[in-house]
């Protein structure tokens, strides 16, 4: 059905729901699964406001996220699965990763928001717009 599924995980409460759906699809397709988490550069948020080297803090955040992804992978004994932590804006990094790695399905969580909030862009909405492959928005309850 699919050859390479990409699941984007925010590592929050909805992670299990979104990952479970992606793993089920991986199993029926017998395909590769990539799990990614994106971290916003701390300098975007704090710019020059904090008089310290943020590189180390950024590295700690990246290491912690990498460990969490690996834990999720190991707890489900996933094979043919890789984990990546990237730095940037979630939508752009997800699109970029998908194009670079011939992903044919992107799985994200969606809160099913309505109206302006949806227009102004949840991550799922941002991923859907501009994606060059199928996108599955998994309904998660808040």
Tell me which residues touch ligand AMP (CB under 6 A).
8-10, 14, 18, 36-38, 90, 108-109, 111, 122-124
Q: Would you say 1 and 102 are in contact if contact means Cβ atoms under 8 Å apart? A: no
**Cβ nearer to ligand AMP, comparing 53 with 88:** 88
Smallest separation (angstroms) from ligand AMP to the CB of 32: 18
**Cβ nearer to ligand AMP, comparing 18 with 78:** 18
Smallest separation (angstroms) from ligand AMP to the CB of 77: 22
C-alpha span between 67 and 107 (Å, rounded): 21
Task: From 33, 49, 45, 54, select the one nearest 98 (Cα to Cα).
Answer: 33
Residue with token string 């752009």: 92
Q: Quick count: other Cβ atoms within 10 Å of Cβ 60?
A: 10
**Cβ nearer to ligand AMP, comparing 32 with 94:** 94
**Cβ nearer to ligand AMP, comparing 14 with 32:** 14
| Continuous segment of H or E residues that includes residue 69 | helix 55-75
Q: Would you say 89 and 123 are in contact if contact means Cβ atoms under 8 Å apart? A: no
Q: Would you say 138 and 21 are in contact if contact means Cβ atoms under 8 Å apart? A: yes
Smallest separation (angstroms) from ligand AMP to the CB of 129: 13
**Cβ nearer to ligand AMP, comparing 51 with 120:** 120
Smallest separation (angstroms) from ligand AMP to the CB of 137: 8
Smallest separation (angstroms) from ligand AMP to the CB of 134: 15
């Amino acid at each position: 059905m699919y050859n390479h599924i990409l699941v984007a995980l925010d590592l929050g409460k909805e992670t299990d729901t979104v990952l479970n759906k992606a793993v089920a699809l991986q199993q029926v397709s017998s395909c590769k699964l990539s799990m990614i988490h994106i971290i916003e550069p701390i300098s975007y948020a704090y710019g020059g406001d904090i008089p310290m080297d943020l590189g180390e803090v950024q590295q700690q955040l990246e290491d912690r996220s990498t460990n969490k992804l690996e834990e999720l992978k190991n707890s489900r004994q996933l094979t043919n699965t890789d984990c990546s932590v990237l730095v940037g804006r979630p939508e752009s990094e997800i699109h970029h990763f998908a194009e670079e790695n011939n992903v044919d399905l992107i799985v994200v969580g969606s809160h099913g928001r309505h109206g302006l909030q949806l227009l102004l862009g949840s991550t799922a909405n941002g991923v859907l717009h501009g994606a060059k492959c199928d996108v599955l928005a998994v309904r998660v309850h808040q």
